[in-house]
Structure 1
Amino acid sequence: MSQDSTHGPVMAGVVTALVGFSSSFVVVLAGLVAVGATPDQAASGLATLLVTQSLGMLWLSLRHRIPVTLAWSTPGAALLATSTGVTGGWSAAVGAFVATGVLILLTALVPKLGDLVAAIPHSLARAMLAGVLLPLCLAPVTALVDSPAAVAPLVVTWLVLLRLAPRWAVPGALLVALGTVLATARIDAADLAPHLAWTTPTWSLSALVGIALPLYVVTMASQNVPGVAVMSGFGYRVPWRESLAVTGIGTVVGAPTGGHAINLAAISAALSAGPTAGPDPRRRWIAAVTASVAYLVLAVASTALATLVAAAADGVMQAAAGLALLGTLGAALAEGLADPAEREPAAATLVVAASGVTVLGIGAAFWALVAGLLLRGFLRAGRTPTVRPSERTSSTSART
Structure 2
Amino acid sequence: MLDWIALNMTPGVGPRIAARLLEHFGSARAVFDAPRTELERLGLSEETVASIIARDQHERAERELASVRALGGDLLVLDDGAYPALLREIHDPPLALYVRGAWKECLEAPCIAMVGSRRCSTYGQNAATMLARDLAERGVTIISGLARGIDAASHRGALEADGRTVAVLGTGIDDVYPREHRKLVEEILAKGGSLVSEFPLGTPPMGQNFPYRNRIISGLSLGVLVVEAAENSGSLITARLALEQGREVFAVPGNITSRTSFGTNYLIKGAGAKLVQSWRDVVAELPAEIASAMLPEKKKGRQTAAQLALDLSGLAESERAILNLLSPDEPAHIDALAQASKMTIADLNAALLNLELRDLIIQLPGRCFVRKL
- The structure richer in helix per residue is 1
TM-score range, shorter chain: under 0.3
Task: Calculate the TM-score normalised by the size of structure 2.
Answer: 0.25
When Rg is computed on C-alpha atoms for both structures, the one with the higher figure is: 2
Task: Calculate the TM-score normalised by the size of structure 1.
Answer: 0.24
Where relative contact order (Cα < 8 A, 6+ residues apart) is larger, the structure is 1
